[in-house]
Amino acid sequence: MSSLSITGVTKSFGTGPTATRAVDDVTLHVPHGSFTTVLGPSGCGKTTLLRLIAGFLVPDAGSIAFGDTTVAGDGVRPVPPQARHVGYVPQEGALFPHLDVAANIAFGLPGHARAGREGRERVAEMLDLVELPAHFADRRPDELSGGQQQRVALARSLAPQPAVVLLDEPFSSLDASLRGTTAIAVRRALAATGTTALLVTHDQNEALSLADQVAVMRGGRLVQSAPPAEVYLSPSDPQVAEFVGRAVVLPGTATDARATCALGEVVLSEAATGPVALMIRPEQVYVDLTHAEGVRGSVEEVSYYGHDCAVQVRLDDGTSVLARMAGVRHPVAGDTVHLRVTGLVRAYRPAGAP
Ligand code: ADP
Ligand code: MG
């Protein structure tokens, strides 16, 4: 196991006016034994970043190091993929269909360890680690569910005790109910082995719930890397706020620790002055059904999820605001409600301001 350091890494495809800068000056540190998720929309450069780390691509600029060992950049000859001791779990279709589970898991072990007692013990240990029964060793991949196949893929990547494990949207082909349980099993297995891991995903729930650190990517660039709660509560800009969860972004005017906006007066997390863009999470918008306290509006739409519901409200001034409230007692479309903002609000310099 080792830490992973990516410093100023850039990679373009093609040349001239049609060139795509898939990864643009990315700097990221994944501490030894920790779990980082990279969150970004499709096409933002996530897979390219993993392929650079694994050694399938060579950066145009910047460097990549595992612990103190530079594997690419800084004038060193790029270390080939097989010598990097990286475990790679691709999106899907990761397993060799003609090999049974045991042979798949043992695939990356040194030749002498692949067969015999040592290999069988390692396979059993890995199945246990990913919470699959021992008798699955004899099954073929097509006799497993999608979630079980992804657990085997993780077991195969961990069997040779890699320095770093890279997971490329490993749960995206699974249906919602399997996704959660598979993700938790994967996190447990990584934690139990103390493996340094980088998982890329476009799913914000996955990114926030699994990792110690979330790195948000946009258009090839890394725009923020921080613990999950910090990314959610203090996104580096309103676009990150809207990508990581839902956000109500309203123009306002700040004076020290307060600001006024369409939702009335709000308290800021940090003092600001003048025109600002205010970022309010929908669960911070309190929907008052009985008292006429707060800013009046009319309910346009309610989406009921059971544990809670999302309420779209049109304020009297025309502003549209999303509120999230417990599902026990909720309004219906056409109701008049009053809204207030609770908790601290993050203020940003408005777009286009100097
Ligand atoms: P993601 O995994 O976030 O969806 P990718 O890393 O696959 O994004 O792609 C990032 C960008 O680089 C995209 O615009 C994609 O079309 C481009 N790209 C990726 N691989 C290649 C390649 N081998 N040749 C040319 N363009 C590529
Ligand atoms: Mg991808």
Ligand 1 pocket test, candidate residues 48, 53, 56, 223, most atoms within 8 A of CB: 48
Q: Provide CB contacts within 8 A for 329, sequence distance 6+.
A: 289
Per-position DSSP letters for 270-335, written without gaps between them:
EEEEEEEEEEE-GGGEEEESSS--SEEEEEEEEEE-SSEEEEEEEETTS-EEEEEEESSS---TT-
Ligand 2 center to 291 CA (angstroms): 49
Q: What is the mean pLDDT of residues 273-287?
A: 96
Lowest mean pLDDT among 37-51, 114-128, 242-256: 114-128
Question: Which of the ligands is closest to the CA of residue 168?
Answer: 2
Q: What are the structure tokens assigned to 44, written together?
A: 């933002």
Categorise residue 14: left if φ over 0, alpha if ψ from -120 to 50, beta otherwise: left
139 pLDDT higher than 80: yes
User: Collapsing DSSP states into helix, strand and coil, what is residue 135?
Assistant: helix
pLDDT tens string 94-137:
899 999 999 999 998 887 777 788 889 999 999 998 889 999 99
**Domains plus CATH for the chain?**
4-241 (3.40.50.300), 248-348 (2.40.50.140)
Contacts of 271 (CB under 8 A, 6+ apart): 254, 256, 257
Percent of the chain at pLDDT exceeding 90:
76
pTM: 0.90
CA distances from 293 to 203, 249, 264, 336, 337 (A): 37, 22, 11, 12, 9
Instruction: Provide the residue type at 48 as one letter.
Output: T
So what's the pLDDT on residue 110? 83
- pLDDT recorded at residue 269: 95
**Residue-level pLDDT at 262:** 98
Question: Average pLDDT for residues 251-255, to the nearest whole number?
Answer: 97
pLDDT digits (tens, 9 = 90+) for 13-33: 998 888 999 999 999 999 999
Buried b / exposed e along 14-50 (16+ C-beta atoms within 10 A): eeeeeeebbbbebebebeebbbbbbbbeeebbbbbbb
Distance of alpha carbon 339 from alpha carbon 46, whole angstroms: 39
The pLDDT mean for the chain works out to: 93
Q: Are 81 and 55 in contact (CB under 8 A)?
A: yes
Query: What whole-number distance in Å separates Cα of residue 49 and Cα of residue 8?
Result: 12
What per-residue confidence (pLDDT) applies to 354? 63
* pLDDT value at residue 117: 86
Distance CA 207, CA 321 (A): 26
pLDDT confidence of 93, banded at 50, 70, 90?
low
Mean pLDDT of 233-256: 94
Summarised one tens digit per residue, pLDDT across range 169-190 is 988 888 888 888 888 888 988 8
Is the CB of 42 within 6 Å of ligand 1?
yes
Tokens of 83: 């010598």
**Distance between CA atoms of residues 311 and 324, nearest Å:** 6
Computed on alpha carbons and rounded to an integer, the radius of gyration of the chain in Å comes to: 24
Give the pLDDT of residue 1.
67
pLDDT for 335 beyond 70: yes
Residues 342-348 have a mean pLDDT of 96
Residue of the CA atom closest to atom 12 of ligand 1: 22
Rounded Cα gap, residues 55 and 63, in angstroms? 12
Q: Tell me the pLDDT band of 147, cut-offs 50, 70 and 90.
A: confident
- Mark the residues whose beta carbon lies below 5 A from ion ligand 2: 46-47
Cβ within 8 Å of residue 164, ≥6 positions away: 1, 2, 4, 30, 53, 66, 84, 85, 86, 87, 195, 196, 197, 198
**What was the pLDDT predicted at 329?**
84
CA neighbor of 342 nearest in space, from 289, 294, 275 = 294
Question: Distance (Å, rounded) from C-alpha 129 to C-alpha 153?
Answer: 12
User: In sequence order, what are the beta bridge partners of 308?
Assistant: 326
Return the pLDDT at 274: 96
Residue 48 CA: which ligand 1 atom is closest?
Answer: 6
The pLDDT score that the predictor gives to residue 291 is 87
Nearest CA residue ID for atom 16, ligand 1: 43
Closest CA to 44 of 240, 261, 274, 295: 240
Q: Reply yes or no on whether the pLDDT at 353 is more than 70.
A: no
